[in-house]
Amino acid sequence: MSTMKKRIWYWDILRIAAVICLVLRHISTASFDFVEPLGAKWWVFNSYGSLVAWMVPVYLMLSGASFLDPDKKVSIKSIWSKNILHMFIAFVVWSILYAIYNHLSGQDVQTDLIEMLFTGHFHLWFLPMIMGIYMLLPLFRIASRTIKGTAYVFFVSLLLSVTFPMLQDLGWMPDSELITGMNNVGFISAHVCFFFAGWLFHKVDLTKGQRYLLYGIAIIATIAVFTGTWALTVRDGAHNEDMQSDSNLLTGIQGIALFVLVKELCRGKEFKPETQNALRFYSSLTFGVYLVHVMLIALLDRFGFSPIIYHAGWMIPLTFFLVTPLSFLITWILRKIPFVGKFIT
């Protein structure tokens, strides 16, 4: 069997879709704090943000589906020398680039330059988090040897570190430090929950009835993300984005439903060679797009190309159609740099 036939194409489709929606989310939600809560622009931002809040859970599901496969050979040496090293170099290089840009552009003159180098830009938080998950992979792969073990970790972490904290955000549970801390503890962290969900829902096939039920719940969850953002903003008298969090139950349901949907749509489907090549190409650039796109958004904003200044209804799509192809193009160019390119994108 050829390598192409072994490739799981729905992973590539989801990876490309996720990074495209990540660009849209950062364009639409980066301005939340700069507009009047519940004003006209705020509602536009909330609409876009609620529709694409699923990207991080899907990213984590894709990683989990790949790394937790017991049949895949994953050594501690390869985890550190390949995966963790790649993330670390990318974090250091792009933290430096964003820190220098922010400092020279005057966007963040209050924060010390050295501090910015260590904390990283706001969207780079994902890299230290995924490095932590990679460090724990040998332990996680013990749990994923069986579907029962995978399901156990998923459901326990779903309850303790996804559902409980969301109920706490809503004010439906006591404001306990114990509950808050659960989201940062190894096996029961929200991000590990979605990491295990990837392998679970890749391996387990839901019945038609179960899938339709999941899709229906996901639609309700999307509406709840939208209305929940409104309700919490009204409650606090200031913008509250908790319902669009990457560790939220509602965004997790969105991500799981989309993962299952695309998996089913691609089941038994044969893609033409040119489609396969396109999927390979664009999928290989997604990590770089994640790293690059925020700087492009910031540059456009600096020159007044912003949904805050103009009507958000048409400025967000226009910015999106500029930033997305440019991000792919710049990533492709950076990857052409000998030796260095593959480490920084």
pLDDT for 1 equals: 34
Dihedral (Cα; 80, 344, 323, 281), 10-degree rounding: -70
For the chain, domain boundaries: 3-344
pLDDT in tens, 28-44: 887 777 788 888 889 99
Structure tokens at 124: 């780079």
Structure tokens at 344: 């920084």
CA angle, corner 305, sides to 124 and 118, nearest 5? 20
Distances 158 to 61, 252, 261 between C-alpha atoms, Å: 14, 9, 20
Which residues, 6 or more positions from 133, have their beta carbon under 8 angstroms from its beta carbon?
A: 60, 63, 140, 191, 192, 195
Nearest to 124 by CA among 312, 296, 316, 293: 293
User: What SS3 state is found at 200?
Assistant: helix
Of the pLDDT bands very low, low, confident and very high (cuts 50, 70, 90), residue 140 is: very high
Model pTM?
0.92
- Calpha distance 192→214 (Å, rounded): 21
Q: Which residue has the tokens 């999928």?
A: 283
The pLDDT of 67-94, averaged and rounded, is 93
pLDDT for 3 equals: 41
